[in-house]
Amino acid sequence: MRITALAGGVGGARFLRGLLAAAPEAEVTVVGNVGDDMTMHGLRICPDLDTVMYTLGGGIHEGQGWGRDGETFGVAEELKAYGVGPDWFTLGDKDIATHLVRTQMLGAGYPLSAVTEALCTRWELPVRLLPSTDERVETHVVIDDADAPGGRRAVHFQEYWVRMHAPDARAIVSVGAENAKPAPGVLEAVAEADVILLPPSNPVVSIGTILQIPGLRQAVAGAAAPVVGLSPIVGGGPVRGMADKVLAAVGVEVSAAAVAQHYGAGLLDGWLVDADADADAVAEVEAAGIACRAVPLLMSSPEATRAMAQAALDLAAELAARAA
């Protein structure tokens, strides 16, 4: 079975681990988000791709969900001693090695997809990890600022989230998206998949950013495979992160049913909501033309996460049988 999953960072990576446990024989391609990428100290940093790589490669800091295990911060301490900022974003020493390899390869002319493949070779990744695009696409968030002309300004997503801790947002802009194209292999992985999954990643700044790459949304919507998503919203709020703020910024209610309708019946064939908190949402989602099931949706243990992935695969199989 060929499974193609779109994924952000921590939520996506944790789900993918459950997916590999549920379908150990499957050929899994992950289309990763690049909207969080940035350059700092001259280093190109791809937080979501690295979170997937470290998680599936066995190098993740388990408690945190991102960054390397057993990390040290010698470089960060030296930078601080020099008074060199920013002080709101700390890079670990092991992580810096990843960014050095990436930056060097990009500088030598390799596209991000080739760089990502090279980095993943070291981790013997059990999936094929593709960036959604080789072009630079960076998410910026428009926030209120009384001192800015017009009372608003845009900040890079990392600054919005890590430095500012997600204040109310007015708009989300994927800078560069309209001129980007899907990375090599992405459209093929979507077209040739038996199942397409949208993990419970952020629907706006993770999956939403991937779907904004021209051609990608149409490819997913038009694919022969059933498309099944899992709600990142449980009981009216995100399980972690700032999805509530960025959903509000794009005018979407913070509920499991509203996120399904935001993706839309043209894109999604099936949707999973949490059985404890959101069983009421099933009828509303089905009325919108999307098959919906209520199952436990908290990734509280490896077994719970495996069961979530299995539920998504079961719904996909049911939809494929119905279509045949």
11 binds ligand GDP, rule: CB under 6 A = yes
Q: Which neighbouring-strand residues pair with 31? A: 6, 130
Tell me which residue has its CB nearest to ligand GDP: 11
Residue 74 or 235 having the CB closest to ligand GDP:
235
Residue 2 or 136 having the CB closest to Ca ion:
136
Residues 146-205 that bind ligand GDP (CB under 6 A): 200-202
Per the CB < 8 A criterion, the answer to whether 183 and 114 are in contact is no
User: What are residue 131's phi and psi, to 5 degrees?
Assistant: -65, 150
10 binds ligand GDP, rule: CB under 6 A = yes
Calculate the alpha carbon distances from 303 to 21, 201, 208, 309 in Å: 9, 19, 28, 10
Interaction pattern, residues 25-64, with ligand GDP; x per rule: CB under 6 A: -----------------------x--x-------------
Q: Which neighbouring-strand residues pair with 38? A: 45
Residue 115 or 242 having the CB closest to ligand GDP:
242
67 binds ligand GDP, rule: CB under 6 A = no
Q: Shortest distance, CB of residue 194 to ligand GDP, whole angstroms?
A: 23
Report, in angstroms and rounded to the nearest whole number, the Rg of the chain calculated over CA atoms.
Answer: 19
167 vs 144: CA distance, rounded Å: 9
Residues 241-300 that bind ligand GDP (CB under 6 A): 241, 243, 297-299
In the set 3, 4, 9, 11, which binds Ca ion (CB under 5 A)?
9
132 binds ligand GDP, rule: CB under 6 A = no
251 vs 190: CA distance, rounded Å: 28
Per the CB < 8 A criterion, the answer to whether 134 and 46 are in contact is no
**Six-digit token pair at 320?**
């494929």
134 binds Ca ion, rule: CB under 5 A = no
Q: Shortest distance, CB of residue 13 to Ca ion, whole angstroms?
A: 10
Residue 43 or 239 having the CB closest to ligand GDP:
239
**Six-digit token pair at 96?**
């810096």
| Residue 243 site contact among Ca ion, ligand GDP, none (CB < 5 to 8 Å, cut-off depends on kind) | ligand GDP
Of 199, 200, 158, the C-alpha closest to 175 is: 158
Of 210, 225, 213, 215, the C-alpha closest to 270 is: 225
| Residue 29 site contact among Ca ion, ligand GDP, none (CB < 5 to 8 Å, cut-off depends on kind) | none
DSSP-derived letter for residue 163 is I
- Cα 131 → chain centroid: 11
| Residue 241 site contact among ligand GDP, Ca ion, none (CB < 5 to 8 Å, cut-off depends on kind) | ligand GDP
In the set 3, 6, 7, 8, which binds Ca ion (CB under 5 A)?
8
32 vs 2: CA distance, rounded Å: 17
Residues 29-68 that bind Ca ion (CB under 5 A): 36, 48
Kindly report the number of other CB atoms within 10 A of residue 42's CB atom: 9
Q: Shortest distance, CB of residue 200 to ligand GDP, whole angstroms?
A: 3
What does the binding site for ligand GDP look like in residue numbers (CB under 6 A)? 7-12, 48, 51, 200-202, 206, 230-232, 234, 238-241, 243, 297-299
Which parts of this chain interact with Ca ion (CB under 5 A)?
A: 8-9, 36, 48
